[in-house]
Structure 1
């Protein structure tokens, strides 16, 4: 296994992720921490509003703008997946223990 570079070690920090597990007629949402060992990385130049990026980093509880962008991307993808699931199963789901 090749040695882990400084860039890899920065990307290997524990991150909060929202994972949705879809089951027929049931939805479970788990928020957990996991370590990202390695990820595909591309260096991309984008223009950011510094104040907005810094505020996002603070709100998301991360240390850098890069981490804020990654966290925001994860959140929006999870939200869109959840919204798609809800539009598909909206009103058709049953939750055990509710109104028994």
Structure 2
């Protein structure tokens, strides 16, 4: 169940551009196995790319986030901050021609 929901969320975000369906599947996967942080990473990284920074910070501010993960996040921030100049916007999907079907 966990792997299916994780893959469903990733595929919805990457292949079908179904953003509402992607976080839904990812959050359901996280509910199945909250100790698995791959889902948290997938959700947080996709939210960051979309400019949803407050939501990402809320995920990282969880009181039950393991100390080792919190320390790793802090170390990653300290390492990358000097190199960050701007966060690129996500690429927009090509617009369909009027009247074209999927």
- Give yes or no for TM over 0.5: no
Structure with bigger RCO (C-alpha 8 Å, 6+ apart)? 1
Q: When you count helix as a share of all residues, which structure comes out higher?
A: 2
TM-score between the two structures when normalised by the length of structure 1:
0.27
